[in-house]
Amino acid sequence: MWNSPVGVKTVHFWAPVMKWALVIAGISDLSRPAEKLSLTQNGALTATGAIWTRWCLIITPKNYLLAAVNFFLGCVGIVQVGRIYNYHRSLEESPAEAAKSMEHEVIDSAKEVVAKTEAAVKKST
């Protein structure tokens, strides 16, 4: 294990060990009310978990420890996005209206990121 390509002397070991903090933080958010959760943050955690789980299984050497932490990160994100969706659905008349309100939240967040990026580019030029 000590001289393994994914052993304790490499980033292949320490990156997943440190990334468990994100999973633990996501699990601790299960106690928070759904109205205080961020859809964009949990959507990003879900996407990150899915993308990097796949990546860990196609690289050489395969990193099963990193794949496991990313899988659980995606699972926590999916649960939280489901909680947010159910919260919005309980406020609205129908599931379609809940999805619409979530859509507006994501669009507003994306516009805010674009505006900040454009401001940073203008500032640097």
Instruction: Name residue, tokens 């994306």.
Output: 110
Please give the average per-residue pLDDT across 114-119, as a whole number. 85
Q: What is the pLDDT of residue 20?
A: 92
Contact by Cβ (8 Å): 53, 71: yes
Residue 20 DSSP SS3: helix
Looking at the chain, the whole-number percentage of residues with pLDDT higher than 90 is 42
Q: What is the pLDDT of residue 2?
A: 65
Domain annotation covers residue 65: yes
Please report the sign of the dihedral spanned by the C-alpha atoms of residue 107, residue 109, residue 114, residue 119: positive
Domain annotation covers residue 111: yes
- pLDDT one-digit tens code per residue, 42-89: 999 999 999 999 998 998 888 888 899 999 999 999 999 999 999 988
Domain annotation covers residue 4: no
Domain annotation covers residue 1: no
CA dihedral of 5, 67, 39, 123, whole degrees rounded to 10: 20
Domain annotation covers residue 35: yes
**CA angle (103, 113, 43) in 5-degree steps:** 45
User: In which domain, by residue range, is 58 found?
Assistant: 11-124
Domain annotation covers residue 21: yes
Domain annotation covers residue 51: yes
Quote the pTM value: 0.69
Q: At what angle do helices 11-28 and 64-91 cross, to 10 degrees?
A: 20
Name the band, by pLDDT with cuts 50, 70 and 90, for residue 10.
confident
Distance CA(90)–CA(111), nearest Å, equals: 26
Q: What is the pLDDT of residue 6?
A: 64
Q: What total number of domains does the chain contain?
A: 1
Domain annotation covers residue 116: yes
